[in-house]
């Protein structure tokens, strides 16, 4: 998957979160979850854009970690919406699945980035010994 494709998926996820938030009941619990989900569900897209413009590998990894944290929080809120039956599970299932997939993709990117950092450091050390 290209970075542009991932950016598009994150934008689409944020748009779908917006629709879910607008459909939540106007109750104390509904408003609370809506506020939390709108923040956590819309922030991964701009954070990913920031990661793409990172100034270093460490900065890139850190910004991806923020994306993952927000996606995991969103996943929790989506699961709570399903558990409390605020919206039908058939409506939320695809969003939960997409959120889980995005968590896995971003998580694997973090692992890869950290692995590349270790390999680069080892190569630098080896080059210094020559």
Range of the domain at 111: 3-129
Q: Residue 10 and residue 106: Cα distance in Å, rounded?
A: 11
Instruction: Quote the pLDDT of residue 1.
Output: 87
Instruction: State the pTM of this model.
Output: 0.87
Helix or strand holding residue 75 (H, E): helix 57-83
pLDDT the model gives residue 119:
59
How many domains does one find in the chain?
A: 1
* Cβ neighbourhood burial of 106 (10 Å; 0-12, 13-18, 19+): buried
Q: Please name the residues in contact with 105: beta carbons below 8 A apart, sequence gap of 6 or more.
A: 1, 6
pLDDT digits (tens, 9 = 90+) for 54-95: 999 999 999 999 999 999 999 999 999 999 999 999 999 999
Q: What is the CATH number of the domain that holds 119?
A: 1.20.1440.60
């Amino acid at each position: 998957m290209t970075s542009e494709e991932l950016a598009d998926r994150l934008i689409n996820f944020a748009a779908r979160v917006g629709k879910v938030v607008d459909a939540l009941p106007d109750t104390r619990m509904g408003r609370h979850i809506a506020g939390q989900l709108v923040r956590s569900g819309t922030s991964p897209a701009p954070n990913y854009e920031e990661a793409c413009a990172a100034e270093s590998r460490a900065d890139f990894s850190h910004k991806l970690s923020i994306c993952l944290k927000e996606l995991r929080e969103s996943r929790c809120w989506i699961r709570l919406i399903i558990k409390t039956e605020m919206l039908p599970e058939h409506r939320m299932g695809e969003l939960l699945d997409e959120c889980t997939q995005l968590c896995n993709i971003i998580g694997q990117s973090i692992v890869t980035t950290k692995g590349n950092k270790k390999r680069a450091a080892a190569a630098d050390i080896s080059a210094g010994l020559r």
